[in-house]
Amino acid sequence: GAVVSQHPSWVICKSGTSVKIECRSLDFQATTMFWYRQFPKQSLMLMATSNEGSKATYEQGVEKDKFLINHASLTLSTLTVTSAHPEDSSFYICSARPPTPPQYFGPGTRLLVL
């Protein structure tokens, strides 16, 4: 199946710093990518829909100024967690959808904010 990568896979940062997470579709072009957040032992919660060349669509309750999403090309979307705080510690997962479904998921990025 199609491959989606995320970088980094694991990041630890100090409170107040910003962290950028990259999501790449390696063998297909994705006009749409999705960003999810998964808390321990819970399901994936959609944070935002990232559209190439336009602004992301955020789910209710997700702060767009805190979670900046940029979809600069058909194979790359980035999520920047600005001024991270310990409550932002979580597992962030992206998915990308080729022209025909299904969506393919990246391996996830575990963020720990100290």
Partner 1 sequence: AQSVSQHNHHVILSEAASLELGCNYSYGGTVNLFWYVQYPGQHLQLLLKYFSGDPLVKGIKGFEAEFIKSKFSFNLRKPSVQWSDTAEYFCAVNRNSGNTPLVFGKGTRLSVIA
Q: Which residues bind partner 1 (CB under 8 A)?
A: 1, 31-32, 34, 36, 41-46, 49, 51, 93, 95, 97, 101-108
Of 28, 107, 21, 6, residue with least CA distance to 74: 28
Determine which helix (DSSP H) or strand (DSSP E) holds 105, and give its type and residue range: strand 104-105
Nearer to partner 1, 61 or 101 (CB): 101
Distance of closest approach, residue 41 Cβ to partner 1, in angstroms: 8
Distance of closest approach, residue 5 Cβ to partner 1, in angstroms: 10
Contact 35, 69 (CB under 8 A): yes
Retrieve residue 20's tokens: 């950028």
Distance of closest approach, residue 63 Cβ to partner 1, in angstroms: 18
